[in-house]
């Protein structure tokens, strides 16, 4: 009777078509399925005079290798030259290599590695109120762009570069010094002038009832709105009443003494003596400063 063909084997890889009915004393070729494999077949035989239908064929495993040929698609990002040399496509960069494998659908395919997709660099996020990055949103690898001052700032421009062969999608443009100064030379007038300040022809002064050295500087909020901030003028404040021994002295005239004014402190009867003068400093801004 014929011997039993091999079972529990990879039928994608092995071709058993001639080995299902092999009578005693005869042989069959056990080869590789092509495609997707290539290899030399081995010879299986059934013992001479076999009487056991469950007697397995005597066989050895052929060496079957995955077979990728000119018809096998080359994955995106890779190139395969006729001489078998791998390289990256123009859209990718790296040092490629590849192996041929057989997938779960019994199809040979290339599994290359080493080529990563090229990516444009990301624009810097440094002070977007001050710098205009509009030319630098999608700079390709090896490219460069110009970073300018955003109005109303002025101060030139500078170059930023994307690294050659950049494959990092989060890579920030190389923006090395010197950077544009981007200063504010003209600041808008404040929409509402705070109390204590008066505009002059070319500057600011403290309003009547205020003292100090007024200063104006430009400020910018989180929404890139530029405004003028005024500081340095403080309201005149009357001095704090004089603390005296009320049994001996009368300081009632020294209540609420304004800056630059004076008051008299007298002796209280039955005490006698020469009145004293107390003064509130002309530029007093501290309501708790005593006369």
Q: How many secondary structure helices (H) and strands (E) does the chain include?
A: 0, 21
Q: Which residues of the chain have pLDDT under 50?
A: none
* DSSP 3-state of 134: helix
pTM score of the predicted model: 0.62
Residue 62 belongs to some domain of the structure: no
Do 111 and 135 have their domain in common?
A: no
Residue 157 belongs to some domain of the structure: yes
Q: State which residues form the domain around 137.
A: 118-182
Do 123 and 176 have their domain in common?
A: yes
pLDDT at residue 151, rounded to an integer:
86
Question: Which tens digits make up the pLDDT trace of 135-175?
Answer: 999 999 999 999 999 888 888 899 999 999 999 999 999 98
* DSSP 3-state of 143: coil
Do 124 and 176 have their domain in common?
A: yes
Residue 11 belongs to some domain of the structure: no
Last residue of a domain, one of 117, 132, 167: 117
Residue 26 belongs to some domain of the structure: no
Last residue of a domain, one of 62, 97, 117: 117
Taking the CA atoms of residue 101, residue 102, residue 108 and residue 114 in that order, the dihedral angle to the nearest 10 degrees is -30
pLDDT at residue 119, rounded to an integer:
98
- The answer for residues whose C-beta is within 8 angstroms of residue 145's C-beta and 6 or more apart is 135, 136, 139, 159, 160, 173
Last residue of a domain, one of 87, 117, 147: 117
| CA 99/CA 103 separation, integer angstroms | 12
Question: Which tens digits make up the pLDDT trace of 61-103?
Answer: 999 999 998 889 999 999 999 999 999 999 999 999 999 999 9
* Domains: count for the chain: 4
pLDDT at residue 3, rounded to an integer:
95
pLDDT at residue 189, rounded to an integer:
87
């Amino acid at each position: 009777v014929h011997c039993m063909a091999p079972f529990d084997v990879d039928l994608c890889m092995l071709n058993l078509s001639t080995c299902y009915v092999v009578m005693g004393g005869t042989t069959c070729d056990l080869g590789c399925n092509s495609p997707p494999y290539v290899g030399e077949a081995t010879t299986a035989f059934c013992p001479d005079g076999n009487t056991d239908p469950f007697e397995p064929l005597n066989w050895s495993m052929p060496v079957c290798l995955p077979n990728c040929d000119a018809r096998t698609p080359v994955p995106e990002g890779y190139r395969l030259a006729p001489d078998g040399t791998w390289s990256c496509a123009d859209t990718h960069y790296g040092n490629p290599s590849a192996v041929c494998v057989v997938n779960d659908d019994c199809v040979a395919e290339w599994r290359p590695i080493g080529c990563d997709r090229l990516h444009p660099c990301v624009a810097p996020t440094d002070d977007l109120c001050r710098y205009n990055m509009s030319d630098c949103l999608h700079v390709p690898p090896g490219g460069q762009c110009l970073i300018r001052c955003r109005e109303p700032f002025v101060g030139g421009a500078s170059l930023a570069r994307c690294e050659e062969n950049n494959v990092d999608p989060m890579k920030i443009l190389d923006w090395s010094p010197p950077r544009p100064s981007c200063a504010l030379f003209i600041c808008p007038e404040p929409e509402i002038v705070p109390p204590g300040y008066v505009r002059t022809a070319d500057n600011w002064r403290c309003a009547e009832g205020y003292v100090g050295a007024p200063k104006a500087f430009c400020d910018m909020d989180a929404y890139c709105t530029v405004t003028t901030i005024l500081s340095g003028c403080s309201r005149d404040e009357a001095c704090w009443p004089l603390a005296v021994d009320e049994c001996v002295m009368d300081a009632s005239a020294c209540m609420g003494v304004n800056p630059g004014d004076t008051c008299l402190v007298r002796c209280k009867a039955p005490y006698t003596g020469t009145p004293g003068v107390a003064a509130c400093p002309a530029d007093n801004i501290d309501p708790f400063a005593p006369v």
